[in-house]
Structure 1
Amino acid sequence: MTSTTDDVSSLSRTAIPQRRVVRERSVRRGRLGVAVALMAVCALGAVALFGYVSRTQPYLAVARDVPVGAQLTAADLVTVHLNPDPGIASVSSNRIQAVVGKYTSVALLPGTLLNAGALVDKPFPGPGDQVVGLSLKAGQMPSTPLRPGATVLLVSTEEATQDKPTAAAPTIRATVVHVIAGARDGTATVSVAVRESDGPVVARLAAQGRLVLTLTAGN
């Protein structure tokens, strides 16, 4: 009897581990902190997105294939919103009335930004015109950038011969159609429109490298 009582007393003195209880108030505070942090992140993201969108500007892009020499219509264009970049030639959408009706000096591809340099006021090649490609080096053309539609003079550097000792070097008026910068600095391939009667002469002189291109006043 005494042994049983001693065992019970011994058990009562043994520490029974208690389960740790997390207070409900602490859990709620933790969840509330996480929610506040998420709201702050979302707010910052919204501000950044709004700032990005507010900086975009409407520009004109090509909606479908437009061949070279075609007259541009409003159906050929679409408005896109982009961040302005001074390094990219682009046309603002508010200038659509100014570009519709002009003619393309190069083929326009869908999805590309419209470049004002690819448009001219008059159709070309016009009736009775021919387009001739000129491979020009530095010294055969001005350092001023050539733009499609610009009026130029093609001056021959052909040397006098016994047959034509006093013949003056021919000067031919032409219109720039397209310009492609060469692999070397100062070189370019320039396509020009000339009268049909001048086409063979220009082609022959160009093949011999005996042409100099000069800009006329107003370009």
Structure 2
Amino acid sequence: MSKTQERVDAASSNGVPHQGRVGGPVAPPRVSARRRRPGVIALSLALIAAGGAGAAVLLLEVGNRSEVVTVVRDVQVGQVLTEQDLGKASISLDPAVKAVEANELDTVVGKRAAVELKPGSLLAPSQVTKDSLVKPGEQLVPIGLKPEQVPATALVPGQKVQLVHVPAQGATDTGETSDAAPQTIAGRVVKASSAAPGTGVVVVDVATTAQDGPTAAAWVSAGTLRLVLDAPDGSR
């Protein structure tokens, strides 16, 4: 026997496979089935049920939505409402909230705002009125204010004012003491115009009693009238 054959036989006897020997088939690893945990299954079912309940509530709310009238522009007190001032919206409305229904929009157009209205708010029936701000027994006195006489606070309908009589410039002393209180007339703003181009004059319509109306008009004509705003609580 050759030496080469002896070395091959020795390697085979030592457990080393001959080159090129093909092994037998390998069995795949066994995969045990995943154990199902009852707690996880119960939690999954609970979440599915909760999601279904939430969807049911959402559908119920959508089904209870109401068409109501909204305010889309600033509206001052006493201003006549137009279609451009109002809009419509579909919302889920609490029964405690009173709002004008959308199909009643035509009934509020042409009425006056009883309070100041702001964009984005719902229109309530109590916020409109068919009554004029000039009440029976009152007179309307137009007063022109120069730019330096116009208050920095915006004049809005319903605002209480005092019409103050001041001595005309260059007028002679009438014998009255200098500390005498000026004569005043209580009034209420009905409307204020925008400043006139060029002059800046603002015309304010003020409602007074029928007895005080002629006096206030005479002060306006003589240029001796000044307008003073009352505080919100009526104090001066």
Query: TM-score under structure 1 normalisation?
Result: 0.43
Give the TM-score taking structure 2 as reference length: 0.41
